[in-house]
Amino acid sequence: MLEAGICGHETVAVTPENTARAMGSGTLEVFATPALAALAEKTCWESVAPALEPGTGTVGTELSLEHTAPTPVGMHVTCDSELIAVEGRKLTFTVTMRDEKGPVGSGMHQRFVIDEGKFFSKAQSKLG
């Protein structure tokens, strides 16, 4: 059952593949903001997945993220999420991210519960 208070926790290694230079969001070999955003989304969707009905999933609809400190290759970034509101199909999360030396980001994320079959069909219909 989806209810406020569900928490998530994910950690990712900072590698050359998820740096700003590799992802095209900058020139430095530090954890990229797009990688931070992906980590936030993954942490949130995985935290609620076990509570969903079969055939349903969630999709991200809004992300407000502050990336406050760099993390070099070789370190790890951890994201903790908390589902703070359930309004019908709309889920609202807070996220906080840190590396081994301290905070590196925070934000809010919204997801919507969807019927996966209907959602995929709608997307495919765009192809004609």
Angle, CA of 117, 122 and 47, to the nearest 5°: 50
**40: three-class secondary structure by DSSP:** helix
In a domain, 1, yes or no: no
Active-site residue among 10, 19, 41, 109?
A: 41
Active-site residue among 29, 33, 56, 78?
A: 33
pTM over 0.85: yes
Q: Is 33 a catalytic residue?
A: yes
Residue 113's pLDDT is what? 98
* pLDDT per residue of the chain (128 residues) written in tens, 0 to 9: 899 999 999 999 999 999 999 999 999 999 999 999 999 999 999 999 999 999 999 999 999 999 999 999 999 999 999 999 999 999 999 999 999 999 999 999 999 999 999 999 999 999 98
What CATH number does residue 43 fall under? 3.10.129.10
Q: Is 92 a catalytic residue?
A: no
In a domain, 2, yes or no: no
Q: Is 9 a catalytic residue?
A: no
Active-site residue among 10, 43, 58, 67?
A: 67
Give the chain's domain count.
Answer: 1
Beta-strand runs (E) in 14-87 = 56-67, 76-87
In a domain, 26, yes or no: yes
Domain that holds residue 15: 7-127
Residue 55's pLDDT is what? 96
